[in-house]
Amino acid sequence: MRADGMFIAVEVDDAAAADAALAKRLTEACPVDIYAQAGDGTLELVERNLDECVLCRLCLDASPDGVVRVIKLYDDGAVLA
Ligand code: SF4
């Protein structure tokens, strides 16, 4: 799944997004509520909050390597590492 704001896009591996435990960790980790859980526990991306991203990397720390990509659209699509 992917959602795009004006400055930031977030991409999450589809299989991982279906993992309720991972969705919970991401929801708890992000200080600006870019991640949420749907009624069935799967991950949702909150589009209206995307551009609030503070590049804190907490979502990257909360997930296995490569599952979450924070893309800096304002920087030619550079991926937060
Ligand atoms: S880098 Fe920080 S603010 Fe941005 S999506 Fe990840 S947890 Fe949220």
DSSP 8-state code for residue 73: G
Residue 59: predicted pLDDT: 98
Q: How far is the CA of 40 from the centre of ligand 1 (A)?
A: 23
Residues 6+ apart with CB under 8 A from 2: 9, 10, 11, 12, 45
Separation between Cα atoms, residue 20 and residue 13, nearest integer Å: 13
Separation between Cα atoms, residue 63 and residue 77, nearest integer Å: 21
Q: How far is the CA of 79 from the centre of ligand 1 (A)?
A: 12
pLDDT digits (tens, 9 = 90+) for 8-65: 999 999 999 999 999 999 999 999 999 999 999 999 999 999 999 999 999 999 999 9
Two structure tokens written together for 41 = 């526990």
Ligand 1 atom 6 nearest Cα: 59
Residues 6+ apart with CB under 8 A from 14: 1
Two structure tokens written together for 72 = 């800096």
Residue 48: predicted pLDDT: 98
**Mean pLDDT across the stretch 69-77?**
98
